[in-house]
Amino acid sequence: MLPPIADRFVAGEDISTALDHTRALNDDGVGAILNLLGEHYDDPEKATQDTETYIELVEAIAAADLDARISVKPSQVGLDISDETFADNLARIVDTAADVGVFVWVDMEDHTTIDATLDAVIDCAEDHPDMGLCVQANMKRTRDDLRRLVETPVTVRLVKGAYDPPKRLAYTDKADVNRAYRENLAYLFEHADHVAVGSHDPEMIERAKELHDAYGTGFEIQMLMGVREDEQRDIASAGYESYQYVPFGDKWLSYFYRRVRERKENALFAVRALLS
Ligand code: FAD
């Protein structure tokens, strides 16, 4: 069972607890994006196992009639093994998801994976347009990737970027990343059919609302479980599409550690939880 200290950021260890969490979110008008925790498998069996759990998950979401999507990490379903393994496993998940009407997001990992991830997702989306891909504003290449993506059926989730790419490839200064985020957000509202704003930043969320008013482009706001949850509900109550990214599974420790490391408030929360 998940220790109480981790359950702010992780929904539970199995599909049924993830679906319970989703039900509670849906009651407040918030959709879920379910992510089975796991990454960087070099063992094909592990990649197959998580692929099969995702297939089980999309079937369970459809059977329970919940407002939920999934989000898959490329290295969890085979990218560290080979591009072909990743493409095959992703296609298996997306085939079933399309059959039962569940949208599939693909996360973006470190800079070495971007080309292979883009190619596989764009390829897969030719047959199954209900797909989305995360794109990182801190990467200098991102505008070119967006130009390519807006010509495809793939929906983009724009985030600031969670990895530490080399300076020659990425903006590393916070102000530069924010500027790149604002500019790429505007580009998406101007050129895409729908935009996913993956950010907790009030400035970016306000900017998205203004861009929606200017261009009429549909959009949704996505935040992580455990971060600004009141705001997630308020956004939904105000009539905007609000989604919570909900990690679950037994590999929660490294994810929890990442959340605690990235922000002082999260670290204080962890210390308080340990003391109580
Ligand atoms: P930050 O720049 O971290 O913060 C800006 C402002 O937001 C803060 O000043 C504060 O006002 C507010 N804020 C931020 N955090 C908090 C908090 N805990 N409590 C209160 N206020 C807060 N990255 C990837 O590289 N690949 C992915 O696939 C990916 N998927 C993601 C999916 C979702 C749904 C989200 C929300 C993020 C994802 N990320 C991903 C992470 C992302 O790249 C950023 O690292 C992360 O979201 C932090 O950036 P930010 O835009 O939220 O704002």
pLDDT digits 0-9 by tens, 151-170: 999 999 999 999 999 999 99
d(CA 187, CA 181): 10
Q: Is 261 a domain residue?
A: no
Mean pLDDT in residue range 36-53: 96
Answer yes or no: is 259 within a domain. Answer: no
DSSP bridge partners of 224: 245
Q: pLDDT class for 173, splitting at 50, 70, 90?
A: very high
Residue 6: band (very low, low, confident or very high) from pLDDT cuts 50, 70, 90: confident
107 is catalytic: yes
User: Is the pLDDT confidence value at 42 over 70?
Assistant: yes
Distance CA 113, CA 25 (A): 32
- Report how far Cα 63 is from the mean position of its chain's Cα atoms: 22
Domain-embedded: residue 5: no
Query: Does residue 269 form part of some domain?
Result: no
Residue 274 scores a pLDDT above 90: no
**The predicted structure's pLDDT at residue 59:** 98
CA angle 82, 83, 86 (to 5 degrees): 90
* Residue 125 within a domain: yes
Domains: count for the chain: 1
Residue 81 in domain = yes
Instruction: Report the CATH number at residue 225.
Output: 3.20.20.220
How large is the average pLDDT for residues 20-29?
98
Q: Is the pLDDT of residue 121 over 90?
A: yes
Q: Is the CB of 135 under 6 A from ligand 1?
A: no
| Interface predicted TM-score (ipTM) of this complex, two decimals | 0.98
Q: What pTM was computed for the model?
A: 0.95
Beta bridge partners of 242: 221
Looking at the domain assignment, is residue 190 inside a domain?
Answer: yes
Task: Report the nearest atom of ligand 1 relative to the CA of 223.
Answer: 36
63, with CB counted inside 10 A (0-12, 13-18, 19+), is exposed
Q: Is the CB of 224 under 6 A from ligand 1?
A: yes
Domain holding 170, by residue range, is 15-251
Measured distance CA(172)–CA(167) in Å, rounded:
6
List the residue whose alpha carbon is closest to atom 15 of ligand 1: 200
258 belongs to the catalytic site: no
User: What is the pLDDT, as a whole number, of residue 269?
Assistant: 66
Whether residue 236 contacts residue 223, with contact meaning beta carbons closer than 8 Å, is answered with no
Task: Output phi, psi for 51, to 5 deg.
Answer: -60, -45
What share of the chain has pLDDT > 90, as a percent? 86
Between 33 and 258, the more confident residue is: 33
- Alpha-carbon distance of 15 to 64, in angstroms, equals 12
Is residue 272 situated within a structural domain? Answer: no
